[in-house]
Amino acid sequence: MPRKVREKGIVIGTLTTGEKNCITDVAGVRVGHVTLDEKINQDGAYACTGVTAILPHEGNLFQQKVTAASYVLNGFGKTTGLVQVNELGVIESPIMLTNTFGVPAVTQGTLQFMLDSNNEIGHSTGTINIVVGECNDSYLNSIRECPITPGHAIEAICKASNEPAEEGAVGAGKGMMCFGYKGGIGSSSRIVTHGSTNYTVGCMVLSNFGQSSEFLAHRYTTSNVQSESTSSPTDGSIIIVLATDAPLSSRQLTRVIKRCGIGLGRTGSHFSHGSGDIVIGFTTAHQIAHVSEQLIEIRTQLREDHPIMNQLFAAAAEATEEAILNSLSQAQTTIGRNGHKVEAYQF
C-alpha cells in the first residue's frame, strides 16, 4: 500500500507533526472525497476525476463563519469566491476542490447544499459565497465530457469526516499529475508550541504541476532508479489549503499562508506561467456569527512580534512541502482517457 513519506524515512523540517499528520489534526476540520474512475463511452472517453470537500468545522458554516484569507502565487486559475474572502476576511461554505471544467457543477452542488441547510439565504438575509478551487486534469480525464455533477459535490460534503484523509489519486486528485508523475491529494500537519500552549497547522494540497526535470528529488532520496517521466500537466497548478487553530486576524493569516510558497518552491516549482498556484487559509479560533446586534466585536489574536509567529511561518512551509511529497508517495499508477498512463513516483 502507498505510504506517507515519513513512513519511508523522509523527514521534512524540524517541527513535530500532529497525530494524524493531516489537515484533520486541526480540531473540527473534516475532509470528504468523491472519486470518478470509469469509462464514459466506447470512443475512449473516461472519467478520471473527482471532488474533495474541506469543512472548517462541524457546525453550520454560514451561520458561524471562520476567519480566512487567500493568496495568489500565480494566477492562472479559475477559482470562485476568493474576491469576497479577501474583502471580508471570512469563509462561510465548505472549501471545494475539483477539475477546471467541474467548477460550475461543484459550485452549484455546494450552493444547493448550503441553501437546503439555511432557508433564510436569499429570503430574509443576503446571498452566500461559495469557494471552489481547481486544477486541469485533462491528460487523464475527458474534461470536455464534464463528468462532475452537482450531486458529486453534495456527496463529498456529506462524506466529510475528521478521520485521516485519503491521499493520492482520490477525490479531486484522481486525474492530477505532479512533476510528470502521478500526483493528487496530499496532507501534513505541524504543532507549534510556546510554553504550555500548542497550536496546530494543517495543510492539504491538490498537486498538478511541474516537469520531472524540475523535481528536486535529490533532496529526498539517494536512489537513481527512478526514470525521468515524459508526461507533464497541460496547465500545471496547485491548490493549497492551510488550516490552523491559532488565533490570527485575516491579515496575519495572509502572512502565514504566503509561506506555503516556500514549501512549494523547495520541491522545485518556480510558479510557472501557466500554473494556478493559489493558497486558501482559515483559522478555527474564531467563529463569527452571521447575525449579531453587537456594535463591537472582540477577538483575540497573537501578538505580531511574538516568536511563535516565526514558528507558524515555518509550519506553513514545512507542512506544504511534506503534503506535496505525500501526494506523490501515495498516488498509484493511473490509466485514463485514450489509454493515457501516468506512473507513480518511487521514493
Q: How far is CA 1 from CA 52, 127, 300, in A?
A: 21, 44, 44
Residues involved in catalysis: 237, 275, 277
Strand, helix or coil for residue 347: coil
Contact 215, 223 (CB under 8 A): no
- Round to whole Å and give the CA distance between 263 and 204: 12
- Round to whole Å and give the CA distance between 225 and 67: 46
Contact 67, 74 (CB under 8 A): no
- Round to whole Å and give the CA distance between 24 and 20: 7
Q: Which residue has the cell 505525500?
A: 326
- Round to whole Å and give the CA distance between 63 and 136: 33
Within a 10 A sphere around the Cβ of 255, how many other Cβ atoms?
18
Contact 342, 333 (CB under 8 A): yes
Angle between helices 150-159 and 103-117 (to 10 degrees): 60
Q: Which residue has the cell 537513481?
A: 224
- Round to whole Å and give the CA distance between 29 and 23: 7
Strand, helix or coil for residue 80: strand
